[in-house]
Chains A and B, each alone.
Chain A
Amino acid sequence: MFAHRQIILIAALIVGGGQALGQAPSEDSYDYFRLNCSSCHTIGGGDLVGPDLKGVLDRQERDWLIDFMLDPAGTIDGGDAYAQEIFRAAKGQYMTKIPSLDRAKAGAMMDLITHESGLEKSVFAGMQLSDRPLTRDDEKLGRKLFLGQAEFAAGGPACNSCHTLVDLGGFGGGRLGPDLTSAYSRLDGRKALSAWLSAPPSEVMSPVFADHPLEGDEVLALVAFLKHAAASGEMEAESLTMDFLLASFAGAALVLILLDLAWRKRYRATRRPLLNRTRAGKATR
């Protein structure tokens, strides 16, 4: 009875130690990958904007990969042959440099990728989005979400705060981020764009959307809307900016006129006009 209990205890110790030796990635690493990488990369789900990372450590040295992650643009522009090759494969899209990434974190990502590559189906094999065909309703909802007329469930800001697009009406959308008219074609269609939108990785967007991720249906709706927009052709952003400027300048002129009117009875001068009046009177006499 006594010995039996001991054996169970030892077994438990061995199992526990075995897990420790297997270096299972921490929950933090999963979150970090989801937030910063998954919008461009899958593990075993095929290429998105960036290449499928399944077994990437078999293709390239760990240290090279870490260096590349820390300074993607520098490595590519530095003329490294392999970097050039993947740059071409990504249709000239530079990999985003992640501000919070350091050598330790990059190492953790390597471990995560190794671990997930060994599994039959990684959680990052592909976004868990429906493959259903996009409908006209999706497109309409997408437009509303883009303009802010419909709210994102998690409270993220509307796209038009920072982005414009052909055919938005009025003075278009914001200009802090790029024009998204060609986003659909630039990101090579539905799959990559969906992944991108699921966790926007750009430096400006990631802090904002980290706590307010888009939901699956919202992503699909936006994809539908962006696909429709891509088919509508180029927009003339400059003329919209000019319209906006002219309207504002007209407003400013109006305000100045109103200020003058509001204080039209303001005091101006007494002595000098009196002198001038009297002198003029004398001259005509």
Chain B
Amino acid sequence: MNDFLLFVVLPYLALGTFFLVTIQRYRQRTFSYSSLSSQFLENKQHFWGSVPFHYGLLFVLGLHLAGLFIPNAILSWNAEPARLFITEITGLAMAVVALVGVVNVIVRRFNFSKARRVTTTSDWVIYLLLVVQIGSGIYVAIYQGWGSSWFATNAVPWLWSLFSLQPDVSYIASMPLSVKVHVVNAFLLIGFFPFTRLVHVLVVPNHYLWRRTQVVLWNRDRRRIRQAK
């Protein structure tokens, strides 16, 4: 029963909230769609928080997504133990880098009164969730090792069973507690996502890569006005 709540109801609730609220917030409160940067208020510690955190997390998240979408490619890469060890060591190393980052972020937000001034309650909630997420991930990587392989075979089928609306908890129900914590916390993060600064992830400026350098806007269509005369 608990398994049903945690691994069927919670994921659907979290994903539902995520999609509904992100869209609603974008349409109604575009102004708030960014991360409130505090780099301007404190410049030096910021590097050691933000940069390791983002790069570490993006790498690890990328591995998870690869496991989710191309599990067979991951498995055949891991088929050679040397490559498996490379995957696992880089993965754990980047997770540790992300943990160093998030801890620095928290310490900095706490220590520098100017940065603390722009830190909201929802920020602290997010930091807590992130520490639990990265911490449990590191624990799993160490004590339930070679997750890059078993994630693809044991957890991914469960996730796909969710996505295909035929939830099957048998894959996840028998997992160790640490893995369950990691999974439940991940869905909590997804559920909280649209209410927090995390929405900045959705507005990464990809458009910049191909737009014209300068932006000039005319309020009126000049030629039409001229020709109308």
Contact = CB atoms under 8 A, between A and B. Distances in A.
Interface of A: 99-100, 147-149, 151, 157-158, 160-162, 164, 168-171, 173-176, 202-204, 206-208, 241, 244-245, 247-252, 254-256, 259, 263, 266-269
9 contacts: A149-B80, A161-B150, A170-B82, A244-B145, A245-B92, A249-B93, A255-B55, A256-B100, A259-B55
Contacts of A164: 145
B194 interface: no
B170 A99 contact: yes
Contacts of A147: 79, 81
**Main SS at interface, chain B:** helix
B173 interface: yes
B174 A173 contact: no
B150 A162 contact: yes
Interface residues of B, number: 45
Contacts of B97: 252, 255-256
A149 B92 CA distance: 23
**Main SS at interface, chain A:** loop
A208 B157 CA distance: 9
B150 A176 contact: yes
B47 interface: yes
B166 interface: no
A203 B175 CA distance: 9
A176 B176 contact: yes
Nearest to B158: A207
Task: Count chain A CB atoms within 10 A of each CB in B80, B96, B175 and give the residue with the most.
Answer: B96
Contacts of A151: 79
Interface of B: 43-44, 47, 51-52, 55-56, 75, 78-82, 84-85, 88-90, 92-94, 96-97, 100, 141-147, 149-150, 152-154, 157, 168, 170-171, 173-176, 179
B89 A247 contact: yes
A52 B56 CA distance: 54
A244 B44 CA distance: 32
Contact of B157 (A99, A207, A267): A207
Given A161-B149, A203-B173, A268 B142 contact: no
A263 B55 CA distance: 13
Given A99-B170, A170-B85, A208-B154, A252 B94 contact: yes
Contacts of A259: 51-52, 55
A176 B179 CA distance: 10
B39 to A, nearest CB: 10
Contact of A252 (B47, B81, B84, B100): B100
Contacts of B52: 255-256, 259
B79 A244 contact: no
A208 B154 CA distance: 6
A161 B89 CA distance: 15
A169 B84 CA distance: 12
Q: Which 8 A-B pairs have the closest CB atoms?
A: A251-B93, A174-B146, A203-B174, A161-B149, A252-B96, A248-B92, A157-B153, A175-B145
Given A149-B79, A149-B80, A151-B79, A208 B153 contact: yes
Contact of A171 (B79, B85, B90, B152): B85
B171 A207 contact: yes
A263 B51 contact: yes
